[in-house]
Structure 1
Amino acid sequence: MGLDDESREYHRQEPPGKLEISTTKPTNTQRDLSLAYSPGVAAPCLDIAEDVSLAYEYTAKGNMVGVVSNGSAVLGLGDIGAQASKPVMEGKGVLFKRFADIDVFDIELDTDDPEKMIESVAMMEPTFGGINLEDIKAPECFTIEERLRKEMNIPVFHDDQHGTAIISGAALLNALEIAEKDISDINVVFSGAGASAIATARFYVSLGAKKENITMCDSSGIITEQRAEAGEVNQYKRQFARDIPEGDLADAMEGADVFVGLSVAGIVSQEMVRSMANDPVIFAMANPDPEITYEDAKEARQDTVIMATGRSDYPNQVNNVLGFPFIFRGALDVRASEINEEMKVAAAEALARLARQDVPDAVVKAYGDQPIQFGPDYIIPKPVDPRVLFEVAPAVAKAAVTSGVARNEIDINRYVEKLEARLGKSREMMRVVLNKARSDPMRVALAEGTEEKMVRAAYQLVEQGIAEPILIGDADAITRTARTLGLEFDPTIADPTNEGQWDHYANRLYELRRRKGLSRSEASHLIQRDTNYFGSVMVDSGDADAMLTGLTHHYPSALRPPLQVIGTAEDTDYVAGVYMLTFKNRVIFCADTTVNFDPDAKMLAEITKHASDLARRFNVEPRAALLSYSNFGSVDNQSTRESREAVQLLHDDPEVDFPVDGEMQADTAVVEEILTGTYANFELKEPANVLVFPNLEAGNIAYKLLQRLGGAEAIGPMLVGMDKPVHVLQRGDEVKDIVNLASVAVVDAQGRE
């Protein structure tokens, strides 16, 4: 099946299309319905009649964007009409929701009359918090947007004009940094003089380019003052008419620093590229085929050619999805009256800054596991980079406030936390821990310090002020890796191979293990050759506050050295592995998922206490349930008796200050109707958020099923019960997982201080 047929099948699958409406409030009872509609809905209606701003509090207006088109300039398809444009507009709605959690109604207006479009859209202002104009041909699109911006008191944004301008503007800032050129000195040539090209040229001027250094070409050649005076160009092209001799695109490109293509495929030759200035910047953005192919542009020159296209199969894709969702997110959240030039510049600068940062593993994996770092082949972030929301939306919101078009002021730091909560509960929960960690960064030993992921994690921990990482391993190898990755930081390194420097560590290990059959020479060998033993002794000796390991080891072999050296906490006999699973509106902690095969009652009670303490580090008040296939004695055997006995031990323990009950089935523990309806007389009055499994097999199976089939995000495993903070990663974890667990370790160490 070809791509076209596959797409047809994708769109026609039940239910047809790509969008649906879902409710956000309970509608299960008569009471719910009376609140949602008549008679209860009258109260907010009357309030809004008195104060229209309350529509943002009582309705979805503040998170609702209208995507409006008449289908007159759809993608590369041209004027296909309003009805045929609907799949594209639905797709736009999908992108708004997927990347910025913005709800959309797509509106297709069957008219080519600009006045009718203006009138129709303006009348919809009560419905929406913003309007995204889409796929409207030039020059009508200029008139429609300009008029609507004046007549409406909500943001109106024509993405075809400004989206490409903002994204390519970000790419331009970084390309010029690499080429070591000043934006005020560059000569820019445009191929194409439609809505997108004119808006992009205007935006480059906002970024610092000089208008007199911009040469624009349409299908008839260079737009000159002579042509303008002869009436050959419209009023929008006329603003970029230059007092230079007439000529074609080849003439314009000679000596140019930057080429911007928003025209047709194959219009630029290698000879034209060779005529440009040194280290040229070429943005060939015609879709689906660029003005010159990536390969031809690169082959045309011996110096550095910085190339961008609109295609995803080449480096530096100029993709509007990097802009509009996040620009609207920032604008909506401060209730901006418009999206002005200051907000657009802020978005471009935020994107440019982000491209200079280390790239998350998830993004690297999405692009074939090829190295991605700032340079000629990476000057703008990838469209799937989740950090774009947290960089662009706050920058836009701040610019709206500063420029005076915001009707709400926000605390930027708190705002980032709200944005993270939109993308999932796990980000919201980790933000709690990250903020705690930043308040007092601690020393974290990274046992596998020569691993690229560990080096990148160390860089992020330093950059974000989360911890003071200590990379354990060969110093030359670590320094080389950091340099290769382009990470500009001076890592703290502990090199075990330095002869004689770590004799006191070998002595300490020998002291701890000599009665376990370890000789002094064997202790010295382990310190020099096994970074897990080295890191464990480092923490035991107080030279580090916490330790992470396990990235390249099996879990048991990574856990063994810290257990032998550091051991369990005082009055604690057992350690356990806990996963935090986050759902859309719920968080649960699952224990034990990684360590104890068949725990008895005492072990289960201890694991419950440790897991509940961990929940509190995430600002979650624990409600614990010991799980079984039995409900409160309905089945009596050795397994169920262990859980019941553990509950009794916890009830008798004066230090246990949280509700705990069991044994109970999993649905009893987490479904409120079962818990409070059938078993209302027991200790848990609300669904449990700490689930303790009867054995390792059950715990491991359950958390993986919840993660894979239940859509939960998993953070962990977090090791509890150790005398000092130690966490064992899962083999192959990503950099973000290392940073998250390091943050948990820092907070753990803070608590112990």
Structure 2
Amino acid sequence: MDPSQDALDYHSREPPGKVEISTTKPTSTQRDLSLAYSPGVAAPCREIAEHVEDVYKYTTKGNLVGVISDGSAVLGLGDIGPAASKPVMEGKGVLFKRFADVDVFDIELDADPDAFIEHVEAMEPTFGGINLEDIKAPECFEIERTLRDRMDIPVFHDDQHGTAIISGAALLNAADIAGKALEDLSVTFAGAGAAATATARFYVSLGVQRENITMCDIDGIITESRADDGSLDPYTREFAQDVPAGDLADAMADADVFVGLSVGGIVSPDMLRSMADNPIVFAMANPDPEIGYEEAKQARDDTVIMATGRSDYPNQVNNVLGFPFIFRGALDVRANEINEEMKIAAAEALADLAREDVPDAVVKAYGDQPLQFGSEYIIPKPLDPRVLFEVAPAVAEAAVESGASDESLDRAAYVEELEARLGKSREMMRVVLNKAKSDPKRVILSEGKHEKMIRAAYQLVDQGIADPVLLGNRTSIERTIDDLGLSFSPEIIDPLDCDLEPYAERLYELRKRKGITRTEATELVRDEAYLGSVMVELGEADAMLTGLTNHYPSALRPPLQVVGTAPDAEYVAGVYMLTFKNRVVFCADATVNQDPDAEVLAGVARQTANLAREFNVDPRVALLSYSDFGSVDNHGTRKPRRAAEMLREDETVDFPVDGEMQADTAVIEDMLTDTYEFSDLDEPANILVFPNLEAGNIGYKLLQRLGGAEAIGPMLVGMDKPVHVLQRGDEVKDIVNLAGVAVADAQEE
């Protein structure tokens, strides 16, 4: 299909465009509407009239950015006018919302620079910040400077500063990899427009010497003689050098760094070969770089550290790594500007993040290509969710420290607020992970030679969540740690290189009347799952994770045989926590019991309620069926009905429970309270106990896939000691999350 037609169809599909306004408060009743508008709206109006700062309390101003353009320099299309620029401005709004939960009004102005400035200045009461976009040079410099002087909210021209910040982060890491100091770098620029000038200025802020920057435009090297003849604008003139006239080829000779912000194909292999050893090449013209990636790599025998503006090559310099998170940090501390300190903080945070282990989800999003700090990975990928948690706090902190904000900042608490913005699952997991960090426990990771287990162990140590013990071949584990570039020394237990006699003896004692001989016990403890289970049972470890490479029933068998169920539980169950935008639901049992009776269902409900409390959730339990409170009477409906009765009769049960009931009755408040006002649940259930394994597995998967829920689990409840069985193919974050749950379990023990 023609890509242009595909894009046109995408934008014209009903409703046209890419953004809409949605409400954040209920509007379903007359009372709701009277609060949203007249007469209720008068109350906040009066408060704001008396205390203008309350506009941040009662309106969206604190999370609203104006993306504003005159359409004079749109992408590579040039001066196409304000109306034609609107798809780009809408797209910018999509990125703000998608990556940092910042709301946007896009505004396209048909105005000369003076009128443009007046219009934008007049909109200060509306917005928490202004993102200027696609305004031609040199007018963009004066527009931004004037608005920054006149307005008390952040004003940021992304075309200038976005590329500067992202490529600045890349430069920090590239210089380190090349073994060169910033102050010694010789830098050549191809291009002298808004982005190039702002980038050169920013490099100076990072530590590059101004006298070491050579800038070229279409007429060649920008020299002092050209500055003297009046042919340069004042913004370019500051980079004029006292050197002979020459072209780009002359400027690139012996340069350490080439920065291309011009047009494609202007750099030849010979020009690249003339540069210094291990050159840094940022060829950022789009869609065609100043020199192609393959061409640049083949031009030299040493290391060429290459970045482009394209997503199909390593090290994409993409402004989306900057502006959403910079504004997020600035808005959240009500900064009055985005200053140089805040921009430097953003670049340094991005550079630091590129040195960290990359989440599996990011690797998968980019075709499972290896992503590890080095010449092919010097800046994070745009889809890396961690950028929000690193850049926004760094910017906010810099705003406070530099005086751009009068607010105070608790960085740890702020990170938790940001996590809550990205979804309820992060907020819920933060509760458990914080508990785990308060008293880390020793957690066995069977299948310890697996790369995911090793990476999870690194994160557990790095974040202070647990003290991991990797079970597996020592040589293989240490080699993988070295290959991954992880700087940590975890505890490793190699079943082939340790005294297994005590563990074999204990396993024999536990299972000798269950059909296991002494010889079989000796063989079984060589299996990591059995060895880990015995270590947990003996108290040599506090918890264990297993199952990453095995079928769930096979992985569950060793801990069930060795650790067994808790004294108050005869059965175990697998629970998924499903998180929606404003709701959390625990689904049980989804992995273990095929056809439980009423007693098992009641036990599963008790254990799941205990788990919910670990997440600071007050449990409300519904026993599910296809009937409501006796509307159908048969063997299937009697099981959940009897389980609910057993729980209500148990004086130790201190949570509301009811059933049998249909799933929609359990979760829809109007159905529950209006139709069945006699129910013991006065609020929708947050624990759904399914009548059998088939229903539980189907139910949670439908909720996850069609309901848009995020799933955490399965978490194993009912074990005598904390053991959790992973699903085959789980990601590193899943392992880390379950390890956090296991540590919290162990703390309760």
When normalised by structure 1's length, the TM-score is 0.99
Partner of 1:411: 410
Partner of 2:144: 145
Q: Contact (CA 8 Å) 1:632, 1:662: kept in 2 or not?
A: yes
Q: Distance in 2 between matches of 1:126 and 1:244?
A: 49
Partner of 2:120: 121
Partner of 1:321: 320
Offset at residue 491 of structure 1 (A): 1.3
Offset at residue 571 of structure 1 (A): 2.5
SS in 2 for 1:268: coil
Partner of 1:71: 71
Report whether the alignment pairs 1:660 with 2:666. no
SS in 2 for 1:597: coil
Offset at residue 215 of structure 1 (A): 0.7
Q: Distance in 2 between matches of 1:359 and 1:680?
A: 51
Map of 1:467-478 to 2, 5 A cutoff?
467-478=466-477
Partner of 2:91: 91
Partner of 2:570: 573
Offset at residue 110 of structure 1 (A): 1.3
SS in 1 for 2:327: helix
Report whether the alignment pairs 1:359 with 2:358. yes
Deviations 1:534-573 (A, max 9, x none): 1111111111110001111000000000000000001210
Deviations 1:586-628 (A, max 9, x none): 0000000000011111101100000000000000010111111
Deviations 1:406-459 (A, max 9, x none): 132221111101100000000000010111111011011011101110010001
Partner of 2:374: 375
SS in 2 for 1:189: strand
SS in 2 for 1:143: helix
Amino acid at match of 1:697: E
Report whether the alignment pairs 1:534 with 2:505. no
Deviations 1:241-297 (A, max 9, x none): 111111111111111111000001011111111111111100000011000001111
Q: Distance in 2 between matches of 1:305 and 1:492?
A: 38
Q: Distance in 1 between matches of 2:396 and 2:384?
A: 20
Q: Distance in 1 between matches of 2:437 and 2:405?
A: 30
1:517 is aligned, of 498, 515, 518, to 515
Amino acid at match of 2:3: L
Offset at residue 129 of structure 1 (A): 0.5
Count residues with an aligned counterpart. Answer: 749
Amino acid at match of 1:480: R
Partner of 2:234: 235
Offset at residue 679 of structure 1 (A): 1.2
Partner of 1:682: 679
SS in 1 for 2:495: coil
Deviations 1:25-53 (A, max 9, x none): 11111111111111111111111111111
Q: Distance in 1 between matches of 2:747 and 2:281?
A: 51
Deviations 1:66-109 (A, max 9, x none): 00001111111111111111110000000000000011010011
Identity %: 74
SS in 2 for 1:448: coil
Partner of 2:734: 737
Q: Distance in 2 between matches of 1:217 and 1:566?
A: 71
Amino acid at match of 1:636: D
Map of 1:221-300 to 2, 5 A cutoff?
221-300=220-299
Amino acid at match of 1:526: L
Q: Contact (CA 8 Å) 1:342, 1:403: kept in 2 or not?
A: yes
Q: Contact (CA 8 Å) 1:337, 1:407: kept in 2 or not?
A: no
Q: Distance in 2 between matches of 1:234 and 1:133?
A: 21
Report whether the alignment pairs 1:36 with 2:20. no
Offset at residue 130 of structure 1 (A): 0.5
Offset at residue 300 of structure 1 (A): 1.1
Partner of 1:702: 699
Task: Please identify, of 403-412 and 279-288, the stretch whose mean Cα deviation from structure 2 is larger.
Answer: 403-412
Partner of 2:4: 4
Partner of 2:745: 748
SS in 2 for 1:579: strand
Amino acid at match of 2:144: E
Offset at residue 347 of structure 1 (A): 0.3
Amino acid at match of 2:502: H
Q: Distance in 2 between matches of 1:498 and 1:38?
A: 77
Amino acid at match of 1:268: V
Amino acid at match of 1:110: D
Amino acid at match of 1:512: L
Partner of 2:435: 436
Offset at residue 633 of structure 1 (A): 1.0
Q: Distance in 2 between matches of 1:655 and 1:400?
A: 52
Partner of 2:648: 651
Partner of 1:108: 108
Amino acid at match of 2:720: D
1:724 is aligned, of 699, 703, 721, to 721
Q: Distance in 2 between matches of 1:743 and 1:29?
A: 42
Partner of 1:170: 169
Deviations 1:626-647 (A, max 9, x none): 1111111111111111111111
Report whether the alignment pairs 1:179 with 2:178. yes
Amino acid at match of 2:76: G
Deviations 1:185-222 (A, max 9, x none): 11111000000000000000111111111111111111
Q: Distance in 1 between matches of 2:360 and 2:85?
A: 36
Offset at residue 498 of structure 1 (A): 1.4
Amino acid at match of 2:378: I
Deviations 1:628-676 (A, max 9, x none): 1111111111111111111111111121111111111111111111111
Q: Distance in 1 between matches of 2:500 and 2:136?
A: 72
Report whether the alignment pairs 1:504 with 2:499. no
Deviations 1:708-744 (A, max 9, x none): 0000000000000000000001110000000000000
SS in 1 for 2:169: helix
SS in 2 for 1:184: helix
Q: Distance in 1 between matches of 2:742 and 2:502?
A: 25
The gaps in structure 2 that reach 5 residues or longer are none
Task: Please identify, of 16-25 and 502-511, the stretch whose mean Cα deviation from structure 2 is larger.
Answer: 502-511
Partner of 2:617: 620
Partner of 2:552: 555
Q: Contact (CA 8 Å) 1:578, 1:592: kept in 2 or not?
A: yes
Report whether the alignment pairs 1:421 with 2:420. yes
SS in 1 for 2:578: strand
Q: Distance in 2 between matches of 1:407 and 1:660?
A: 49
Q: Distance in 2 between matches of 1:642 and 1:575?
A: 18
Task: Please identify, of 321-330 and 32-41, the stretch whose mean Cα deviation from structure 2 is larger.
Answer: 32-41
Deviations 1:276-321 (A, max 9, x none): 1111100000011000001111111111110000000000000000
Partner of 2:587: 590
Q: Distance in 1 between matches of 2:507 and 2:368?
A: 39
Amino acid at match of 2:703: L
Task: Please identify, of 578-587 and 71-80, the stretch whose mean Cα deviation from structure 2 is larger.
Answer: 71-80
Partner of 2:669: 672
Offset at residue 697 of structure 1 (A): 0.6
When normalised by structure 2's length, the TM-score is 0.99
Report whether the alignment pairs 1:545 with 2:567. no
Partner of 2:446: 447
Q: Distance in 1 between matches of 2:415 and 2:539?
A: 35
Amino acid at match of 1:46: R
Amino acid at match of 1:532: A
Report whether the alignment pairs 1:14 with 2:11. no
Amino acid at match of 1:520: R
Q: Distance in 2 between matches of 1:302 and 1:544?
A: 51
SS in 2 for 1:83: helix
Partner of 2:607: 610
